[in-house]
Each structure stands twice: as structure tokens, then as C-alpha cells.
Amino acid sequence: MFENITTFNFPTRIVFGCGAVRQLPACLAETGIHKPMILTDPGLSATPVLSAVTGVLTDAGIPHEVFSEVHGNPIEDDVVQSVARYRAAGCDGAIGLGGGSALDVSKAVVAMARHEGDIADLDAFNGGVARIAPRLDPIIAIPTTAGTGSEVGRSAVITVRKLGKKIFIFHPQLLPARAILDPELTVGLPPALTAATGMDAFTHCLESYTCPVFHPICDAIAIYGMELVIRYLERATRDGADIEARGNMQVAATMGAIAFQKDLGAAHSLAHPLSTEFGLNHGLANALVLPSVMRFNIEPAASHYARLAGLFSVETRRMSEAEAAARAVEEVEALIDRLGIQRGLRNHKVTREGLTTLARKAFDDPCHKTNIRACTEDDLLKMYEASW
């Protein structure tokens, strides 16, 4: 049973709580960053969040640069342009401020700052890990959404247009040196984005839980992460100023990303091309395909889903495992509906004609390789059709 060797590692130092952003100067000093570049997106730069961060740095007399043009689904140009400014300004560390996109670009920037070639060279599934410099500048992650958990991850996902797909940049030194989780910075997140990013966190937890890799610590984290999402996501979506809900969703997102060091599953393989081909938010894409993936996985994942039903407070004692598992899928669909997410890919400008191309790209994506049930390209197409 225990023939395969698995390593367990949870090294990230997390600073959590209301007003935690004021600890940023101390975090910079601890990690040896003297002139950081803040990576963020245009939407966030127009809010008080960016000024709150830059204000802390200015008050502490810390020089800094700001790159605020990160796309919602980060692209190669985001990295190329910010790296040029990073080098020209003499920056020695990155601050990712925002959702997963900004955090991913901050990781790609420090990787590319020490690399003279093309970003495609760093694709982890094409030998890129060996091409990343052995010592990289530190990263501070300040998430303003509660979904990707990129603040505790070692990878960045960037769309490279000439390849027509997302590449994965992975390296142990891309793990942020500090993660600052300040619930007050998430208060302004709109309801739709709160719901979508929250479902991203939920999907991370569920797919890592069902991933057929032995990692009981990750399993325990994933279970509690799902419980937090079930308990607090609706509250956070209804009332953006609910600090208890916001803070617990930040914790759930971080737990989801810690858990998925086990790996993920078919939902993520289906979601990634929906972003590159149709521009869907990643969390929204996960929410739209997750029920069909759960139904595809229902037999091998029955015990996992039965436990999930219990997290939804379903009385499962008189149910068979299969009945409880089926009820869990219904509960997930009901949660998606209560969050105001309109199910059906057709309702998000995904064309029926595009499903075949999506299935081909999904099959090329590595996440389904650790799905609890093996997938063919035709299986993935059928899941898209069931989600359409």
C-alpha cells in the first residue's frame, strides 16, 4: 500500500488578520528586498487597495515600482513588459497584489528576470524547471481575492499566444517568501467575482481530495477547506463587508492551494482552455464544468463525495454511499445556483462548435492525468457537452 514515497512540505510563512498589510515593510526587510515591484491589474489600481499598499511603502521610505497592466488571464506580454521595467528600475523583489493573475505574473517576473530566453523556454512540461536560475529574487504575495491560493503555490500559469495555450512555470523558489492575508483588502470584491473565485477554492479542495495520490495531510486540509467554503462563501457573496466570511474564505483559498500539491483533476483541464479560447474567469470556468466532472467521477469517488454530502449537512446515515455521492453533486449544483452563477457554457458565449477544439486542448492539459478516473479526449468532450 505504501510503496510510493511521498514528501510533505508546508513552508510558507503567512501573516493573517485585519490590517496585516501594515506588516509589509517588516516582511520586505526579513526577505532582503530593498526595491520591490508591485504587480497588479488595472481594476485594482483604480481602487484604494493599491494606494493602501503604496502608502505603507512610502511611509516607510521604501522605493518601489508599480506595474498595473496585468490581464485577467495573464498573457506573455504582461511578463515581457514588466520584466523590462523590473530590470531597468533595479528591482530586487516582487509584490504580487491582486488575484491569481497578478500573483502568477509576479512569479513569472522573478523567473524571467534571470533568464535571457523566451518565456516558453520555462514551460515546466517541456523541461522548463531545469532552465530556471537556481537563485531567484523573493516574492511577497498579497491576495485580494479568495480563490487561486497562488500565495502558497510554486507555479505560475501564463497564456502564450503563439503556442495557443497556457504554460506552467514551476520552481521551488517561486514559492512566495511571505503571504499577507488581510481580509480588509477583499471587502471591495464584487459579488460575481467573490462567487467565482470562491468556487475556484472549492474546486481546488475537491479535486485534490479525490486525486489518487497518498497524502493524508492534504486530504485533511482539503476537507476543512471545503467546509469553510460551504459555510462562508454565500455570506461573503451576499455581504462584501462581512469580515468573518471574507477572512475565512481567504483561509479556505490558501488551504485549497496547499492541498493541491497532491495535484488536481479533469475540471481544471476543462477550465484552462475555456480561459484561453473564450476568456472565461478561471473560477467561473471551474464552477461551470465541476458538476459534469463529478458525475463522470461518481463511482471511483463515491466515498469522497459521500463525505462531501455530510459537509453540506445532509443526513446520510440512511443513504447508501452511492446515494450520498449523488446527493453531493446536487448540493454542489444548488450552491452554484445560490451564488448567482448561471450554469451552462452556452450562457457564457461558449459555442457548441468550439467544444471539439476545447476537448483537444483539455486533453493536452496535464491536470486530468491525476483525475480519479482516467479520461480520454472523447470523455472530456462529453463533459463539455454535459456542461454546455
Helices (H), 239-367: 243-259, 266-278, 282-297, 302-311, 321-338, 355-364
∠ Cα 237 240 245 (to 5°): 75
Of the candidates 244, 234, 246, which has an alpha carbon nearest to the alpha carbon of residue 341?
234
Element of type H or E holding 155: strand 155-160
- Where do the CATH 3.40.50.1970 domains begin and end in the chain? 13-186
Distance between start and end Cα atoms, the chain = 40
Contact 96, 125 (CB under 8 A): no
Number of residues written out for the chain = 388
Global pTM value: 0.88
- Where do the CATH 1.20.1090.10 domains begin and end in the chain? 191-387
Q: pLDDT truncated to tens, each residue of the chain (388 aa)?
A: 455 655 555 668 888 888 899 999 999 999 999 999 999 999 888 888 999 999 999 999 999 999 999 998 888 999 999 999 999 999 999 999 998 889 999 999 999 888 888 888 888 888 888 888 888 999 999 999 888 888 998 888 888 887 777 888 888 889 999 999 999 999 888 999 999 999 999 999 999 999 998 889 999 999 999 999 999 999 999 998 999 999 999 999 999 999 988 889 999 999 999 988 898 989 999 999 999 999 999 999 999 999 999 999 999 989 999 999 999 999 999 999 999 999 999 999 999 999 999 999 999 998 999 999 999 999 999 999 999 9
Upper half-sphere CA count for residue 383 (Cβ side, 13 Å): 33
Given CATH 3.40.50.1220, say whether it is the number of domain 13-186: no
Contact 254, 199 (CB under 8 A): no
What DSSP designation does 342 have? -
d(CA 294, CA 166) in angstroms, rounded, equals 24
Cell numbers at residue 254, please? Answer: 490558501
Q: What distances in angstroms separate CA 129 from CA 106, 132, 268, one per listed residue?
A: 17, 6, 21
- Other Cβ atoms closer than 10 A to 137: 23
The answer for 328, left when phi > 0, alpha when psi is -120 to 50, beta otherwise, is alpha
- CATH number of this structure's domain 191-387: 1.20.1090.10
Pairing state of beta strands 93-98 and 65-67? unpaired
Query: For helices 282-297 and 321-338, what crossing angle results, to 10°?
Result: 160
d(CA 205, CA 261) in angstroms, rounded, equals 11
- The SS3 call for residue 39 is strand
Contact 16, 184 (CB under 8 A): no
Element of type H or E holding 23: none
**Each residue of 15-53: b (16+ CB within 10 Å) or e?**
beeeebbbbbeebbeebebeebbbbbbebbbeeebbebb
